[in-house]
Amino acid sequence: MRRAVALAFALAMCVVRYWLARLRGPMTLERRALWLQGAAQAILKVLDIKSQVQGRPPMCGLVVSNHLSYLDIIIISATMPCFFVAKMEIGSWPFFGKAARSGGTIFLDRSSLASAMTVAEQMTERLKLPISVLLFPEGTSTDGAQVLRFHSRLIDPATTAGAPITAAAIRYVIEGGVEERELCWYGDEEFISHLWKVLGVTGFSAQLHFGEPQIYSDRRVAADQTHAEITAWREGNVVESESAVAMQ
């Protein structure tokens, strides 16, 4: 109950900070991403969720990551300002949907080819900004047992533009040997019931790993090699990237 009250207070303060920011001038895309970063940092603080970051968070280009839960969005947002590509349904969530829109999230209707084309166009424009675009190319969240094959369609804007692509891997560690899947949100579980369960889990932390940014000329190669890199890190191995140009 204490953590639920703390979360409600943090969310209310995020709204206040957003409107105060609007009073100081137009909410450009960059300012929206920075607001979302501050909101995520405030939420992690009140919930006492620790995160450990390996590697250097990129300042531009496309970031592709595995996807375990809505918690991923908070963890990654707190680490760096970015624009998420998210499923359309998130836009209707209470508070979190509004926050996603306010933070500059790009919404995708996964059943619509036209939506995918529109999102690709938006991503192309966002990739010109000094803020990263974050994509979960599995297309859904999972229980963490394996990293699903990456869809490459929305990686295409980055390969076409010659923008750097960075692999990011996330995992959760819970005290007492509790399995990571206890924090994963997947299948048909309701959002509110899962959030309530998460609020009752104490003593867990997130680990976030960033690889080196690479330039790829082929979207399928980019999808397969970032997938291999993320899978290797989650399994405790090291993978060397091929057919790519490292950004120095």
pLDDT, tens only, 215-231: 999 999 999 999 999 99
For helices 29-47 and 71-79, give the axis angle rounded to 10 degrees.
Answer: 110
What angle is formed at CA 238 by the lines to CA 235 and CA 242, rounded to 5 degrees?
125
Global pTM value:
0.91
Give the pLDDT confidence of 142-195 residue by residue, as tens digits: 999 999 999 999 999 999 999 999 999 999 999 888 899 999 999 888 888 999
Most confident listed range (63-67, 110-114, 193-197): 63-67
Burial of 192 from C-beta contacts in 10 A (0-12 / 13-18 / 19+) = exposed
48: left (phi over 0), alpha (psi -120 to 50) or beta: left
Provide the CATH number for the domain formed by 2-246 in this structure.
3.40.1130
Instruction: List pLDDT tens digits, range 125-144.
Output: 999 999 999 999 999 999 99
The residue that leads in pLDDT, 93 or 75, is 75
Q: What pLDDT shows up at residue 40? A: 95
Q: C-alpha 67: how far from its chain's center?
A: 8
Strand partners, 210: 168
Question: Residue 240 has what pLDDT?
Answer: 44
Mean pLDDT (the chain) is 91
Q: Is the pLDDT reported for residue 209 higher than 60?
A: yes
Using the predicted structure, report yes or no on whether residue 39 has a pLDDT greater than 70.
yes
Q: For residue 237, what pLDDT is reported? A: 58
Identify the band that residue 248 occupies on the pLDDT scale cut at 50, 70 and 90: very low
Burial of 49 (0-12, 13-18, 19+ CB in 10 A): buried
Instruction: List CB contacts of 97: < 8 A, sequence separation 6 or more.
Output: 90, 91
DSSP designation for 55? S
- pLDDT bucket at 43, cuts 50 / 70 / 90: very high
Contact 117, 106 (CB under 8 A): no
